[in-house]
Amino acid sequence: MTPARLATAWALFQGLLIEALPFLLIGVLISAAARWWAPGGRWLRRLPSQPLLGPLSGAALGFALPACECGNVPVARQMLVGGAPLGSALGFLFAAPVLNPIVLASTWAAFPDQPWLLLARPLGAVVVAVGLALLLRLIPEAELLQPDLLAERRLHQPLEEVNLLERRGGVLGTQDRRPLTRPSLAELMRHGGREFLELALLLVLGCVLASLVQSFVPRSWLLAVGGAPTLSILALMLLALVVSVCSSVDAFLALSFAAQVTPGALLAFLLLGPVIDLKLVGLLNLLFRPRGLLLTTAGAGLLVLLIGQWINLWRL
Amino acid sequence: MPPPPLLQRAALQRGAALALWSLVLLRSSVDGRLDLLLRAIYHPLVALAGVLLFGLALLQLGLALRDATAARERAQRRQTLTLLVTTAIALALLGLPPAPSFADLAGQRPRDDTAASELSFVLPPAQRSLTDWVRLLRSQPDPLLFEGDPVRISGFVLPVTGEAPQLARLLVRCCLADAAPVGLPVRWPAGATPQADQWLQLDGVMAVETGSGGRRLVVRPRSIRPIPRPARPLEP
């Protein structure tokens, strides 16, 4: 470990962190605006809860709230706290980083001569989001979500969905009759400030991990497998985990090695990064218990691998 | 319940921590360190986030002093820990500016292999940057087309295993994490000892040399001048 390598790792850490912080702030501000605009999150509870419609409606929200994955975590957390159906919140969390105008425009700008990619990326993101939402629904919410998030969520869920033992406060009855008052500025500031600092800390941990791996594992190792159909997909999935760049720019990064890898691997890189990477692990830890995080990682990996394989069968 | 002493008020601590983080973003925007980390197109976003965060910090501090509910809020242990750690990291970011070794970073990354989207034929050869040359050669790989063209390029010295050092640049789409190097081989004059990471400006001509891999274009410098690192070294 040379001093030059350490200095480079420190710079990489700063680059990743400073690039992500504005997006994190945007996410926290959107989350605070949602709390103020719709106190109690009543509109969130009206989102569909069907296994397919739920994730699709959440994914569609990405068009309204264009942010990359770092900014999406606080918004998804606010959706879960507000009592949104699990499938909708998960659909938003996993698909919105791709299904938003900025990311689609950057994909088109990077690959104007590959129209299939412009179609395959959002479609693949929806498939992954629906698949993950269906998978995570198999775990009871109490085992999936972090306890403090779950406690807040229970307060906003209708009593017919939550039994009294699960709910630590609130009122009795089938209707939630608490007055819908807008939170005060002080309350918004307290919540937003705390959320930003907590997320910043988790982001820091993710960036430390990503910068260390990037500094000490040469990227050429991952790209060495080039044209091997399955290995190239796995290698590019690993690269997406390590490199941890935002979904709004990952297409431009992919452009630099697109000619060396298979089409399936290219798509796998563009699909996996927005769902899970080293930088995101800390942030997702704010939502999921370790079991949920593990299942998300494994499920996303498997789905993206299958999509990549299918694309390679079609395009090679 | 009487409000806790000033320093124990959670809202005040939180406001101070947010102010520190806004300082990280604002200082990065003005002291030039962003030029080493991010592409220029993202700089205004960082500055805007810094201003916004500073406003939020001021609001938080004002409320902590004036609002009765905020004044009574005591920090819980977990929040205190978060505040302490984030404050320490923000201080480290302020105190230790980035000083990356471009040669070290470039040595671990595969080369950028994108061709020029807008070919630089229109530019006179002496006005082409190093990146223009690399992309042009990728689009028009016949080295004989460019033999004898004048060259005036700058970049950092990148050691290459088994070859003479090249003159290189890092291309960045977003931040340093996605940097990919581009480099041109140089026929260094006898006695020249370019050091890794050293920034040089070369004036000379393009020459063709034949090696084991066939013919390739190299820069034959007439003058080699050490220069300070450019203000925006990540721009092409």
The closest CB to that of A243, out of B45, B114, B177, belongs to B177
On the question of pLDDT at A43 being above 80, the answer is: no
- Residue B21: its pLDDT value, please? 96
Q: Which residue has the higher pLDDT, A275 or A65?
A: A275
**B100 to chain A nearest CA, in Å?**
4
CA-CA-CA-CA torsion sign (A166, A168, A174, A176): negative
Most B CBs within 10 A among A2, A5, A13, A14, hence the mutation to make, goes to A14
**Using an 8 Å Cβ cutoff, are A246 and A66 in contact?**
no
Instruction: Please answer yes or no on whether A25 and B36 come within 8 Å at the CB atom.
Output: no
Decide: helix, strand or coil at residue B183: strand
Instruction: Please answer yes or no on whether B108 and A215 come within 8 Å at the CB atom.
Output: yes
Instruction: Please answer yes or no on whether A18 and B37 come within 8 Å at the CB atom.
Output: yes
What count of other Cβ atoms lies within 10 Å of the Cβ of residue A275?
A: 27
ipTM of the complex: 0.89
- Residue A227: its pLDDT value, please? 66
Decide: helix, strand or coil at residue B226: strand
User: What confidence tens digit (pLDDT) does each residue in A49-66 have?
Assistant: 888 899 999 888 887 766
**Using an 8 Å Cβ cutoff, are B81 and B102 in contact?**
no
Looking at every residue in chain A, the average pLDDT score rounds to 83
Number of CB pairs, chain A paired with chain B, less than 8 A apart: 167
Instruction: Please answer yes or no on whether A22 and B28 come within 8 Å at the CB atom.
Output: no
Instruction: Please answer yes or no on whether B175 and A15 come within 8 Å at the CB atom.
Output: yes
Burial category of B142 from C-beta neighbours within 10 Å (exposed 0-12, middle 13-18, buried 19 and up): exposed
- For chain B, what's the residue count? 236
Query: Under 8 Å CB-to-CB from A140, ≥6 apart: which residues?
Result: none
Instruction: Please answer yes or no on whether A194 and B86 come within 8 Å at the CB atom.
Output: no
**Using an 8 Å Cβ cutoff, are B181 and B170 in contact?**
yes
**A2 to chain B nearest CA, in Å?**
10
- Residue B204: its pLDDT value, please? 93
Instruction: Please answer yes or no on whether A18 and B25 come within 8 Å at the CB atom.
Output: yes
**B222 to chain A nearest CA, in Å?**
31
Question: Of A186, A202, A188, whose CA–CA distance to A21 is shortest?
Answer: A202
- For chain A, what's the residue count? 316
Three state DSSP letters for chain A: CCHHHHHHHHHHHHHHHHHHHHHHHHHHHHHHHHHHHCHHHHHHHCCCCCCCHHHHHHHHHHHCCCCCHHHHHHHHHHHHHCCCCHHHHHHHHHHCCCCCHHHHHHHHHHCCCCHHHHHHHHHHHHHHHHHHHHHHCCCCHHHHECHHHHHHHHHHCCCCCCCCCCCCCCCCCCCCCCCCCCCCHHHHHHHHHHHHHHHHHHHHHHHHHHHHHHHHCCHHHHHCCCCCHHHHHHHHHHHHHHHCCCCCCHHHHHHCCHHHCCHHHHHHHHHHCCCCCHHHHHHHCCCECHHHHHHHHHHHHHHHHHHHHHHHHHHC
- Residue A33: its pLDDT value, please? 83
- Residue A39: its pLDDT value, please? 63
- Residue A145: its pLDDT value, please? 93
Question: Of A24, A15, A11, A67, whose CA–CA distance to A201 is shortest?
Answer: A24
Contacts of B98 in chain A (CB under 8 A): 7, 10-11, 14-15
Contacts of B14 in chain A (CB under 8 A): 190, 193-194, 197
Question: Of B212, B162, B209, B213, whose CA–CA distance to B186 is shortest?
Answer: B209
Decide: helix, strand or coil at residue B148: coil
- Residue A131: its pLDDT value, please? 96
Cross-strand bridge partners of residue B155: B200
- The parts of chain B modelled with pLDDT lower than 70 are 1-8, 67-75, 113-122
The mean per-residue pLDDT over the stretch A211-222 comes to 76
- Residue A173: its pLDDT value, please? 46
**Using an 8 Å Cβ cutoff, are A145 and A288 in contact?**
yes
Token pair for residue A220? 């050429």
Residue with tokens 């950028």: B112
DSSP B201: E
Least confident of A11-15, A68-72, B49-53, B142-146: A68-72
Q: Which residue has the higher pLDDT, B113 or A136?
A: A136
Distance of CA B34 to the CA centre of its chain: 7
Q: What percent of chain A has pLDDT over 70?
A: 85
pLDDT band, very low/low/confident/very high, at A174 (cuts 50, 70, 90): very low
Give the CATH fold of the B103-226 domain: OB fold (Dihydrolipoamide Acetyltransferase, E2P) (2.40.50)
Total-model pTM: 0.79
CA-CA-CA-CA torsion sign (A248, A253, A259, A261): negative
Instruction: Please answer yes or no on whether B11 and A189 come within 8 Å at the CB atom.
Output: yes
Determine the Cα–Cα distance for residues A305 and A22; give it in Å rounded to an integer.
Answer: 31
**A245 to chain B nearest CA, in Å?**
7
